[in-house]
Amino acid sequence: MVQIGGQHFGLEYLIPLALERLRADPLGGGLILSGRFTGRCPPAASRFWRNHSEVRNEAAEIVERAFASLPTLEEIDRRAALGVLAEAQDRFKKAEATA
């Protein structure tokens, strides 16, 4: 992602790539655990989620699948993933409410 004058570019390319990976593995082989997906996206991502409802809905479904996968994780990873997933879920709900 590139930032120019406070604007972020590339989310429309990067997020679909991340979703492609997450469709097969909702926990993303560490993508979720490291917080590099939805929970820790820059503020510009909020605009992206508001303006791209189809992508947001798909991401929200993947987050739900990831929640269902939490019991397969070790306790420390489960706690870390729970925080990131809850943050992502909250971000999607806020984006939907303000869309």
Q: Would you give per-residue pLDDT tens digits along the chain (99 residues)?
A: 444 445 556 888 888 888 888 888 888 766 555 555 544 555 567 888 899 999 999 989 999 999 999 998 889 888 888 888 888 889 899 999 998
Residue identified by tokens 């994780």 is 73
**pLDDT, position 23:** 87
Counted domains in the chain: 1
pLDDT for 1 equals 44
Of 41, 39, 44, 51, nearest to 5 (Cα)? 44
Q: What is the pLDDT of residue 4?
A: 42
**Displacement of CA 96 from its chain's centroid (Å):** 14
Domain that holds residue 69: 2-98
Q: Are 40 and 7 in contact (CB under 8 A)?
A: no
Predicted model pTM = 0.77
Helix%, strand%, coil% for the chain, nearest 5: 70, 5, 25
| SS3 at position 7 | strand
Q: What is the pLDDT, as a whole number, of residue 81?
A: 85
